[in-house]
């Protein structure tokens, strides 16, 4: 049996010396050291040996197993190291190459202008109020002095979901909701930023969806001069201290009297140019004193309280501020356009 074990050892070492792959090594491990291998068969036959022979043959068998395992482990370590080297070589990074710079983002010009407008009015004591974009007809029209048969509704072609639910055409409903929530308390000084929707054909100056900011002030003894002073303060902070404003009579169902507000053209300083069509003025917003009927429907006594309101399209403000000629640039996500505002 001793000679058989020595022969088995030489046979195994001979085969292991010619191993050329990880799979071959695993196969030989199973062949010689597995449960059905020749070494295991020899050990099972030790029961037939005498008591004196068993420890001798057992020691030889252990030496044979140890010799085979040592060669297998050595070759396994070599294969593992080679595999690691191959993987590192495949995944190698050339640290001498210049890095790939990540693109730096910037605040969207509309978001930037909204933040500027909010900062200006917050500095004047206003708070920011918000409301739903999917609105009830009552808040969008009726509570703003626009009953269902009012002809002024034709001024705003709307997206109706049902007969009583629509996509809001203005942020004015937030004013009504705020008045209801305050239940007659004064003062109210809010601005309402948000998206609004109208069935307009998209072109250089119109969009079916745009951003609007409206303002509302209600208190005792609020006058038209307060409105003018507030708007003058706003445009001078937005466009510069040299900016002037002009109020022209207009009509809005929810304010009386109502005005269109123009600013002196920043491009020509009021001298007249292509941008202002040689007038020296650019229209930026509408405003007026809150209509008594709107105050009543909001829960305020028009004999005791007065107020003013104004509304502006943020895109219009941004276009004038940055000299942008097409409103569609704000929504097409053209990086050539957006990158211009990286450091603005």
Binding-site positions read 256
Residue 332: CB atoms within 10 A of its CB come to 9
CA distance readout (Å), 113 to 38, 80, 131, 189: 85, 61, 20, 20
Query: Treating both helix axes as pointing N-terminal to C-terminal, what angle do 314-322 and 109-123 enclose, rounded to 10 degrees?
Result: 100
- Comparing C-alpha atoms, which of 300, 231, 218, 297 is closest to residue 263? 231
- Comparing C-alpha atoms, which of 246, 226, 234 is closest to residue 307? 226
CA distance readout (Å), 205 to 51, 114, 201, 265: 107, 19, 10, 17
Q: Is the peptide bond before 294 cis (omega within 30 degrees of 0)?
A: no
- Letter string b/e over residues 223-262, b meaning 16 or more CB atoms within 10 A of that residue's CB: eeebbbebbeebbbbbbeeebbbbbeeeebbbbeebbbbb
Within 18-52, residue ranges assigned H as helices are 22-33, 38-44
Q: What residues form DSSP beta bridges with 283?
A: 262
The DSSP symbol for 34 reads S
Q: What are phi and psi of 240, to 5 degrees?
A: 120, 155
Residue showing tokens 């034709």: 154
Show binding-site residues for Mg(2+). 256
Separation CA 257–CA 88 (nearest Å): 78
- Comparing C-alpha atoms, which of 220, 251, 255, 215 is closest to residue 231? 215
158-161 long-range Cβ contacts below 8 angstroms, 24+ apart: 158/197, 158/198, 158/199, 159/197, 159/198, 159/199, 161/134
Q: Which two tokens stand for residue 311?
A: 């509304």
């Amino acid at each position: 049996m001793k000679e058989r074990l020595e022969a088995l050892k030489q046979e195994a070492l001979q085969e292991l010396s010619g191993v050329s792959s990880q799979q071959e090594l695993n196969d030989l491990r199973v062949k010689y050291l597995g449960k059905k291998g020749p070494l295991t068969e020899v050990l099972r036959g030790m029961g037939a040996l005498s008591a004196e022979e068993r420890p001798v043959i057992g020691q030889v068998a252990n030496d044979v197993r140890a010799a085979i395992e040592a060669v297998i482990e050595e070759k396994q370590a070599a294969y593992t190291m080679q595999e690691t080297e191959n993987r590192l070589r495949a995944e190698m990074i050339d640290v001498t190459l210049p890095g790939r710079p990540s693109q730096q983002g910037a605040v969207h010009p509309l978001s930037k202008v909204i933040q500027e407008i909010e900062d200006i009015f917050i500095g004047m004591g206003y708070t920011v109020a918000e409301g739903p974009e999917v609105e009830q007809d009552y808040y969008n029209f009726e509570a703003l002095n626009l009953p269902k048969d009012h002809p002024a509704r034709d001024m705003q072609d709307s997206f109706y979901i049902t007969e009583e639910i629509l996509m809001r055409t203005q942020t004015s409903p937030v004013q009504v909701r705020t008045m209801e929530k305050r239940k007659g308390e004064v003062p109210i000084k809010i601005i309402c930023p948000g998206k609004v929707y109208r069935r307009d054909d998209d072109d250089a100056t119109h969009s079916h969806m745009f951003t609007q900011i409206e303002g509302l002030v209600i208190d005792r003894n609020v006058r038209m001069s307060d409105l003018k002073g507030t708007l003058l303060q706003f445009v001078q902070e937005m466009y510069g201290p040299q900016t002037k404003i002009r109020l022209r009579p207009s009509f809005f169902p929810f304010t009386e009297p109502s005005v269109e507000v123009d600013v002196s053209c920043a491009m020509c300083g009021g001298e007249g140019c292509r941008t202002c069509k040689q007038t020296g003025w650019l229209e930026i917003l509408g405003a007026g004193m809150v209509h008594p009927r709107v105050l009543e429907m909001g829960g305020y006594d028009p004999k005791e309280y007065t107020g003013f309101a104004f509304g502006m399209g943020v895109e219009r403000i941004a276009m004038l501020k940055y000299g942008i000629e097409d409103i569609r640039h704000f929504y097409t996500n053209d990086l050539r356009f957006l990158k211009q505002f990286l450091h603005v």
